[in-house]
Structure 1
């Protein structure tokens, strides 16, 4: 397929399928799986990934906002979509028209949505967000009397239909004792609130709380649906879970060599003259920089794969390029593929290892892959689709 072979991301649909099946195997039969495709499917391309997850059998999808939901609808995705973040009440009728589900985190918000829907013939399906300890959005799950009274009012609003109820775990991917106890406490708060609501006749059809960590570590908490995010894309949410599930990275980031030159010792490389050759060196210019989402703060602190061998990046990373010492790969030539993260020749570089060097998480790196980088979807080695944001 036709695309500019400067820098691109390979997206393995085989690995996506593998991860989906691994996650399905963790949860009880009949439990639904929601595909989290917010933030452009964690940088993997929201519409193609959503389409493939639907083909695999995902019953729901989730996004962060209305714009992301509209993108999926325009892309032909008809599966139920849950908006996990805030939508201004003025757009309530748009939510209904597109058949979207909206999280509701407060009585005030529910009232505002309902007010906007007065006169509408259809109801908006909502999922109630309970705060069991994340301390972000939600009705307090540990203030039963007040919350029950508030949700009784929501349940009586004729233009809102409570389809689901959910919560979020902040440390379910940790095996630390205190974190495990906190996760158990959160689940207890959630189930206690479910019991209290059942006592007043409120029984949402879909109860869900498991993110990636909880799906892997606490599958007994699956209830009616799970919401694995990062694990779907083949990355563990934390090192604590290594060995507990077989995941395969869906994304590999690759670039190409623009130029190769030989330098004598004591030659400085790139901006700031922060790197100086100690011996004769063969330096390649590679077509990836911080404008592509490859952080400048990784300068001279990372290696790439070239012909299956590790080669160090040297000097400061530039906006559109960086330099690599390829002295130990004499056969390298202009146009050769360089792997930033992913597999090549039996070796691999995990995106998690780059995140660790930055003191961040792999979510941030993958979500930061710039839109000028095309995503190439692969079945085996066959390119099935190319997503180009800039054409």
Structure 2
């Protein structure tokens, strides 16, 4: 049976390193410390929401964040009562009401959302609505556009005048913190400029936070009052870090069949691979439905992106071996195309038998939800 194994020791080490890094510039003059908001979107990055959140609660975390209404409701269904921030703004009345009814901190990023929230506050006068304001500093998704300051001020004054609505924080999101330092600093400046304008207009900004995992590591001077950390906890970063963060999960399966095939034998769909000698192969019931060699979609809008992917593909093509799997500590090459549920592996000359453990490195967010998650 396939399972995604989460190494609790590695996860705990990552937690400790991240806690230390969060306090690198603090406490400040007022004795405040940076708040870590634990992002648990996409089923806690594929690690199972219930088990992952409970692990984090046991480490002292009490503030979490998700990206969708469905994730927020599931968080509450699992029985967790900790602070929960919905990172995306929505102007859909039913969604806002659902979030408020489940004691979720909403994000407000447009005048349409402001109008809906004010209307809901009249319908639910017994509810104290908690909110964070999002400013779009150049990402092009949720949030008030940083240049439209008059619209932002007018909308937020309307919120502030409503005694049932409490603005607890203000934030933005960086678009390319892992690669583009210049643009990240520009976004940060835009955010700080907006905050100063809001304060000049006597608008409460609450907790300020801009850093995702990449910015949290690369730009400690931008930590402000809080940071949003998700992928760093699981050791999944877009760049090499110097913090020693470890990958925390591996996909495990077993060898279910072994056989020898002759020279010139086709392996896998489309006859994409043909053996060049008599070959001993193992069959493992783990394919792309389990996340094996599955990649997220490529962004091909800019020529530089196309060039980057071409270079990466050329490097992969020139490698002596293709995709590998670890079977009992022995690195074995996957032959042919990866199937939906199976892979065929070259084990020629290796001491491998049916039942031996096979381990894959995978993107945990892409592992099928039917695969069991085991913390050990």
Correspondence for 2:158: 153
Q: Which residue of 2 aligns with 1:333?
A: 353
How far 1:227 sits from its partner (Å)? Answer: 0.4
Q: Which of 70, 73, 97 is residue 93 of structure 1 equivalent to?
A: 97
Tell me, yes or no, if the aligned pair for 1:296 and 1:317 is still in contact at 8 Å. Answer: no
* Paired position in structure 2 for 1:357: none
Residue 42 (str. 1) matches residue 45 (str. 2): yes
Q: Of residues 358, 374, 378 in structure 1, which corresponds to 2:372? A: 374
- C-alpha distance in 2, partners of 1:61/1:296? 28
- Contact 1:209/1:221 (CA < 8 Å) preserved in 2? yes
Contact 1:69 1:83 (C-alpha < 8 Å) held by counterparts: yes
Residue 223 of structure 1 aligns to a residue in which SS?
A: coil
Provide the secondary structure at the position in 2 that maps to 1:244. Answer: coil
Unaligned runs of 5+ in 2: 28-32, 296-315
Match of 1:117 in 2: 121
Give the aligned partner of residue 345 of structure 1. Answer: none
Match for residue 170 of structure 1 among 175, 181, 190: 175
Aligned to 2:322: 301
Name the CA distance, whole Å, in 1 between partners of 2:343 and 2:247.
Answer: 24
User: 2:192 maps to which residue?
Assistant: 191
Matched, 1:319 2:324: no
Structure 1 CA distance, aligned partners of 2:57 and 2:206? 21
Return the match for 2:15 from 7, 16, 20. 20
Counterpart CA distance in 2 for 1:244 and 1:12 is 20
Q: Which residue of 2 aligns with 1:270?
A: 268
Alignment correspondent of 1:219: 220
How far off is 1:295 after superposition? 4.5
Deviations 1:102-143 (A, max 9, x none): 111101111112212323111211110101111111101233
The answer on whether the counterparts of 2:89 and 2:113 sit within 8 Å (CA) in structure 1 is no
Give the Cα–Cα distance (whole angstroms) in 1 for the partners of residues 111 and 163 of structure 2.
Answer: 14
**Once the two structures are superposed, what CA deviation does each residue of 1:156-198 show, in whole Å capped at 9, x if it has no partner?**
2343221111000112112xxxx21211111111111111111
- The corresponding residue for 1:387 is none
| 1:57 aligns with one of 40, 52, 60 | 60
TM-score where L is the length of structure 2: 0.86
- The secondary structure found in structure 2 opposite 1:126 is strand
- The alpha carbon displacement at 1:243 in A equals 4.2
Tell which deviates more after alignment, 58-67 or 292-301.
292-301
Pairwise CA distance, 1:296: 7.0
Compute the displacement of 1:371 (Å). Answer: 1.0
Deviation by residue 1:221-241 (Cα, 9 ceiling, x = unmatched): 1111100121111122x22xx
Once the two structures are superposed, what CA deviation does each residue of 1:43-63 show, in whole Å capped at 9, x if it has no partner?
111111111112212231011
The equivalent of 2:310 in structure 1 is none
Distance 1:94 1:136 in 2: 22
Matched, 1:130 2:150: no
Deviations 1:323-369 (A, max 9, x none): 0011131x21111111111xxxxxxxxx5xxxxxxxxxxxxx32110
1:85 CA displacement: 2.1
The question of whether the paired residues in 1 share the 8 Å contact of 2:100 and 2:106 is answered with no
1:347 aligns with none
Q: Aligned partners of 1:369 and 1:94: how far apart in 2?
A: 29
> 1 CA distance for matches of 2:199 and 2:209?
16
Say if 1:296 and 1:276 are closer, same or farther in 2 by CA, change over 3 A.
farther
Within the candidate set 74, 78, 82, 1:71 is matched to 74
Q: 1:258 aligns with which of 252, 256, 263?
A: 256
Equivalenced residue count is: 343
Contact 1:35/1:58 (8 A) holds in 2: yes
| RMSD between superposed Cα atoms in Å | 1.9
Distance 2:333 2:211 in 1: 39
